[in-house]
Amino acid sequence: MSSPSTPVTLADILRGRRGRFLAALMLAEFAAAMQGIAYSTVLPVIARDLDGFALFGATLAAGQVAAVLMLSFAAPILQRVRPLRILLVATALYVAGAALAVLAPAMSWVLAGAAVRGIAAGLFGGFGMGAIGTLFDERERPRVFGLFALIWLLPSVIGPPLNAVITDWVDWRWALGWPAVLVVLARLLMGATIAAVPWEPDASRTPVSAGVGVAVAAGLVLGAIGSAQPQGWGVLALVLGVIATAVAIAVFLVRGLPGRARGLVSFGLLCAAFFGVYELLSLALIEGLGSTVLVASAALTGGLVSWSLVGLRPRPDARPDRAAVGTALVVVAFAGLIGGLWLGGGTGVVLVIAGAVLAGLGMGAAYPLLSSEPFDTGAPAGTVGTLIAFAETAATAWVALLAGGAYSALHGLGWAPALALQAVFGLLAVIAVAAFVSTAGRRRRAD
């Protein structure tokens, strides 16, 4: 372990048995990222091939909803079941879900596979976060979490074109299948090093409320159903789903860490603001500003690169507080996004891209710190890891519902794309401001 005055290096966290386990965990994360991006890339092709566009939206949402459900129950499971058994069950479920999609004769199989993989992802995500909390101390964890942004960078850059080429040259089933093989190999490496993760059974009652987690999933489903309906009742269902989900997420996190959940709430708000930008960034450039897919891809990559590079060097002891600075940058980024859509033309495109890069810089500064600090509360690592994974997964699903549903509703009312996107980015800016206020307040309270 590193002393408080010693900078944490990559050699420190990758040394020994725990370093080998972390390397295997990062490889598993890389493989899962390639798998997820493969699904996003080829799902329209699958729907066309299997005549399954009626289930397209449900298939997109199934994995996240299932992951949220699993994370609602994961904490007590992780306290009572040995890590190797958790890894085996999560991997078996993952293989089953991947096989359902690869061998699918109908779109319903792909939907079922997405749900099963979501359950596996929820169980594995809680376990992985808890393992990091157990193996690394408070100075090392921000550096570890910073690495995971880098793990997602390469799949984001090479994944879509690679899977598109595989789909064109061979078949979409191969595009889904090859990342699954990589996932299984990474899990085998994790199994070989899993003895590095200390574990003792804990039969104490966890404060995490599974019922509230189920309410989060129910709110997401209600909102998703409403977002697909053009009638008035659909808009009402969307609004109710968005509100109910937001309240249930907050209750779940507060009950999970009673009196100490501010950092978790800040983290969830940051994830919602940032991933909301990326849900709509391509749409803003292509539909709102008439730009090209290539430019939209470059903007997405620019934001991810800035996140990865800044996240590699987290500074938990810096003043001013880098988490607050990072969330402030995300707030400022919305000025570029909204201003770019308002100005239009080449200047607008430049401002929107600048906003995306600035949001990435802010995420890189804040994400490693906010995702690691909840472990410092002294709560069991398995419980904290589950709460962190839940906060990110649920917030990301919620903001996709909010941003996508709001845009669809405004577009259905006849709003021009640029104007509708300005309104939605305005909503997301409010979330970013809430993230900044919560993040800055949490440091003042700690001091």
Q: What is the DSSP string of 155-203?
A: HHHHHHHHHHHHHHHT-HHHHHHHHHHHHHHHHHHHHHHGGGS------
On the question of pLDDT at 83 being above 70, the answer is: yes
Picking from 205-214, 231-240, 399-408, which range would have the lowest pLDDT averaged per residue? 205-214
CB burial class (10 A; 0-12, 13-18, 19+) of residue 361? buried
Q: Please enumerate in sequence order all residues whose Cβ is within 8 A of that of 290, keeping only pairs 6 or more positions apart, or say none.
A: none
Question: Residues of the chain with pLDDT > 90: what percent?
Answer: 45
- Do 354 and 306 fall within a single domain? yes
**How far apart are the C-alpha atoms of 292 and 298, rounded to whole Å?**
10
| Residue 433 lies inside a defined structural domain of this protein | yes
Which CATH number does the domain housing residue 172 bear?
Answer: 1.20.1250.20
| Residue 390 lies inside a defined structural domain of this protein | yes
**Contact at 8 Å (CB) between 251 and 390?**
no
Q: Which of 58, 177, 72, 181 is nearest to 114 (CA)?
A: 58
Helix (H) or strand (E) holding 443: helix 417-446
121: containing domain: 14-197
46 or 2: whose pLDDT is higher?
Answer: 46
**Contact at 8 Å (CB) between 90 and 186?**
no
- Do 338 and 243 fall within a single domain? yes
**How far apart are the C-alpha atoms of 334 and 410, rounded to whole Å?**
19
- Do 232 and 189 fall within a single domain? no
94 or 170: whose pLDDT is higher?
Answer: 94
**Beta strands per DSSP E along 332-402:** none
Which CATH number does the domain housing residue 411 bear?
Answer: 1.20.1250
Question: Using alpha carbons only, what angle is made at residue 162 by residues 160 and 166, rounded to the nearest 5 degrees?
Answer: 115
From 197, 225, 245, the end of a domain falls on 197
Domains identified in the chain, total number: 2
> Which tokens in the block code for residue 396?
């990301």
On the question of pLDDT at 264 being above 80, the answer is: yes
**How far apart are the C-alpha atoms of 121 and 119, rounded to whole Å?**
5
- Do 225 and 176 fall within a single domain? no
CB burial class (10 A; 0-12, 13-18, 19+) of residue 105? exposed
Full-model pTM = 0.87
- Do 79 and 216 fall within a single domain? no
| Residue 130 lies inside a defined structural domain of this protein | yes
pLDDT at site 230:
59
407 or 120: whose pLDDT is higher?
Answer: 120
**How far apart are the C-alpha atoms of 117 and 11, rounded to whole Å?**
33
Name the band, by pLDDT with cuts 50, 70 and 90, for residue 168: confident
- Do 193 and 310 fall within a single domain? no
- Do 191 and 211 fall within a single domain? no
**Contact at 8 Å (CB) between 74 and 83?**
no
| Residue 267 lies inside a defined structural domain of this protein | yes
> Which tokens in the block code for residue 254?
């507060």
pLDDT at site 371:
92
pLDDT at site 53:
72
| Residue 5 lies inside a defined structural domain of this protein | no
**How far apart are the C-alpha atoms of 215 and 196, rounded to whole Å?**
36
- Do 115 and 233 fall within a single domain? no
- Do 104 and 160 fall within a single domain? yes
pLDDT at site 1:
47
- Do 334 and 296 fall within a single domain? yes
- Do 407 and 370 fall within a single domain? yes
**How far apart are the C-alpha atoms of 216 and 268, rounded to whole Å?**
14
Where do we find the tokens 């891209």? 353
Name the band, by pLDDT with cuts 50, 70 and 90, for residue 231: low
Residue 205 is given by DSSP the state P
| Residue 134 lies inside a defined structural domain of this protein | yes
The dihedral of CA 375, 75, 207, 217: what is its sign?
A: positive
pLDDT digits (tens, 9 = 90+) for 306-351: 888 888 888 888 788 999 999 999 999 999 999 999 999 999 999 9
295 or 266: whose pLDDT is higher?
Answer: 266
161 or 208: whose pLDDT is higher?
Answer: 161
| Residue 4 lies inside a defined structural domain of this protein | no
From 148, 176, 197, the end of a domain falls on 197
**Contact at 8 Å (CB) between 178 and 166?**
yes
Mean pLDDT score of the chain: 87
pLDDT digits (tens, 9 = 90+) for 43-64: 778 888 898 877 776 787 788 8
- Do 241 and 326 fall within a single domain? yes
pLDDT at site 190:
94
Residue 179: other Cβ atoms inside 10 A? 24
The dihedral of CA 270, 274, 279, 280: what is its sign?
A: positive
Name the band, by pLDDT with cuts 50, 70 and 90, for residue 162: confident
> Which tokens in the block code for residue 262?
């501010």
| Residue 6 lies inside a defined structural domain of this protein | no
**Contact at 8 Å (CB) between 78 and 101?**
no
**Contact at 8 Å (CB) between 304 and 275?**
no
pLDDT at site 447:
46
From 147, 173, 197, the end of a domain falls on 197
**How far apart are the C-alpha atoms of 432 and 156, rounded to whole Å?**
24
